[in-house]
Structure 1
Amino acid sequence: MQAPRSLLQATLAIAAALASSVAFAHPKLVSSTPADKAEVSAPQKIELKFSEDLMTKFSGANLVMTGMPGMADHAPMKVAAKVSGSDDPKTMVITPAQPLVPGTYRVDWRAVSSDTHPINGNIAFTVK
């Protein structure tokens, strides 16, 4: 027996809506502390807040010093830091191993949510 046309159309519409909601479930950076392009005192931790819950096993970040006062030719240098989740599953925390010295920094991040599609980005800030 063949299903009525309206039932088939309704089923297809629901399936399409569910598929599109999964396809658009990529995490987006909502905010950061310190904020992108901010000038701050040395932060003890850097927090990145995303629009989706993160899969911490597949998400991560690198902290890079990109400039040092008085050293115009300072090459980017990776800074030792621990990357972890927080009580909020949408937040990634980067904790430097040592206090940050004055200079410019960049956080290169990779966020993965339930759709398993990695999204990359970065923020930059200056420690005064």
Structure 2
Amino acid sequence: MRLIKPTAVVIALLSGLLMSTLAQAHPKLLSSSPAEGATGAPPDKIELHFSENLVTQFSGAKLLMTEMAGMAHDPMPIKAKVSGSSDPKSMLITPAAPLTAGTYKVEWRAVSSDTHPITGNVTFKVK
């Protein structure tokens, strides 16, 4: 009968813990401004705050108008600048012109040091 050395067991357990920690290291959207589902005045910028530092060259977002009062239409791209901020966990979306009344969606892609892209969206309304 062959016995397993205690050091081999410890190494295997530590490796499993390390792998599970790395697997959970994806950026998560913690908050946005405007918040998901909010209704209000047109924002000068949209801020997305994540749980991890972003790799800005691989992260990004699109701003779309999805609904205009009294008018059905397909999502329309809105010209906007996407950039990082002084906080490496944040992304800024700055519309090129003031947003008009309607419903908007930000489709985002966040990449952190683990290089796995995570996608999502935030929807808000402008009065």
Q: Structure 2 length normalisation: TM-score?
A: 0.93
Deviation >4 Å, runs of 4+: none
State the alpha-carbon separation in 1 of the partners of residues 83 and 50 from structure 2: 14
Segments of structure 2 that go 5 or more residues without pairing to the other structure are none
Match of 1:22 in 2: 22
Sequence identity, in percent?
Answer: 58
Match of 1:54 in 2: 54
RMSD: 1.1
Using the TM superposition, give the Cα deviation of residue 67 of structure 1 relative to its aligned residue in structure 2, in angstroms. 1.0
Match of 2:10 in 1: 10
Match of 1:106 in 2: 105
What secondary structure is seen at the aligned counterpart in 2 of 1:99?
coil
What secondary structure is seen at the aligned counterpart in 2 of 1:42?
coil
1:33 counterpart = 2:25: no
Match of 1:79 in 2: 78
Question: How many pairs align?
Answer: 124
1:118 counterpart = 2:111: no
Match of 1:88 in 2: 87
Q: Structure 1 length normalisation: TM-score?
A: 0.92
State the alpha-carbon separation in 2 of the partners of residues 20 and 67 from structure 1: 41
Using the TM superposition, give the Cα deviation of residue 7 of structure 1 relative to its aligned residue in structure 2, in angstroms. 1.3
What secondary structure is seen at the aligned counterpart in 2 of 1:61?
strand
- The residue identity in structure 1 corresponding to 2:93 is I
- The residue identity in structure 2 corresponding to 1:102 is A
- The residue identity in structure 1 corresponding to 2:108 is W
Segments of structure 1 that go 5 or more residues without pairing to the other structure are none
